[in-house]
Amino acid sequence: MNGFLTLTVNGLSTGAVYAALGLSIVIIYRATRVINFAQPALALISAYLAYSVNKATGSYWLGFAVALLAGAVLGALTERALIRPVRDRTPLSAVIVTLGLLMVLQAVAGMFWTNEPRSFPYAFDFRGQFSAFSLFTVLVVLGTAAGIGALFRYTSLGLRLRAAAFRPEVASMLGVRVGLMLTLGWALAAAVGALAGVLATPPFLFPTVLDGVFVYALTAAVIGGLDNPLGTVTGGFAVGIGLSYVSGYLGPELVTMAALVILVLVLAFRPNGLFGHAVARRV
C-alpha cells in the first residue's frame, strides 16, 4: 500500500510537468494549428538562462523570473521571424521549421553550456513522500491552468486571441490585430513551456533533458484533445500517474514504450482526444 501511494504522489508531481508543457503545445495549436516541436528547446534555453542567473546571483527566484521572461521573448521571436513567413505555405512548412529550430537550439545549448550535466536546484525541499517541491509543482501548474482558462474565457484579450485563431479574416475586419494576437499566443505558450522546463530539469540540466518530457507532454495533449486545455491538464496528470505505475511495477525501461503505446491507441481510436470533439469542415 505504501508503494502504491508513493508511486501515485510521484506521478502527480511529474504529471504536473507534463500538463504544463502539454498546455504550451495546446495554446500554440489553438492559435496557429501548428504542433510546435521546438517547444522543449525553447524551454531548455530558458532553463539554462535560469541556471546562469542562479549561479551568478545565488537567487533561485530571479532565475525563475528570467526563465519565464526569456520563454515569452523566444516564443514571440519564433512566431515573428520563423513561423509567420511560412504561415501561408503548406501545413508541413511550419512543422519542419519547428523541427529545425529544435535541433539548432539544442546544438546552441551544447555550444554555450557544453553537454555535461549541470546541477540545477529545486525551489524547495525535494525529500519526502510528497515533498514541498512536489506540492509547489502541482499547485503552480493548477494555478497556471486556471489563469489561462480564465484569460481565454472571461477577458477581452482572450476573446481577441480566440477570434484571431479561429476566424482571422472576420477578426481582422472587426479591428483585431491578428498578427499581434498570434505573437502574444506564442509568447504565452513559450512562457508556460519555460515554466515546465524549470520544474522538470532539477536536479541535472543538459541539452536533451526535456526530450522525453516532450513525448509525455505530447501524449497528454493528444489525450486531452489538442484544442482542450482542461483536457490536456487532466491528461498530463493521468499520464504522470500511469507511467509512474509502469515504472514501479513493470520497470523504468518500459516507460517510454508505454507512452508511445498510449499515444498510438488514442490516435487510432479517438483522434480528437478523450476530451476533444470532432469538427466538421466544409469542403
| Per-residue pLDDT tens digits for 20-55 | 999 999 998 887 778 899 999 999 999 999 999 999
Give which of 22, 9, 276 is closest to 148, Cα–Cα: 22
Span 241-253, pLDDT tens digits: 999 999 999 999 9
Could you identify the residue written with the cell 545549448? 109
| Segment holding 119, helix H or strand E | strand 118-119
CA atoms within 13 A on the CB side of 64: 13
Span between the terminal Cα atoms of the chain, in Å: 55
Indicate the length of the chain as a whole number: 283
Alpha carbons within 13 angstroms on the beta-carbon side of residue 120 total 26
Q: Give the whole-angstrom CA distance, residue 185 versus residue 192.
A: 11
CA distances from 277 to 227, 238, 255, 271 (A): 9, 19, 28, 9
Tracing cell 478523450 back to the chain, one arrives at: 274
- pTM flag (> 0.85): yes
Domain boundaries defined on the chain: 1-113+127-207
Q: Are 108 and 46 in contact (CB under 8 A)?
A: no
Q: Give the pLDDT confidence of 57-110 residue by residue, as tens digits.
A: 999 999 999 999 999 999 999 999 999 899 878 878 999 999 999 999 999 999
47-74 in b/e burial notation, b at 16+ Cβ within 10 A? bbbbbebbeeeeebeebbebbbebbbbb
pLDDT tier for residue 280 given thresholds of 50, 70 and 90: very low
Mean pLDDT of 117-131: 82
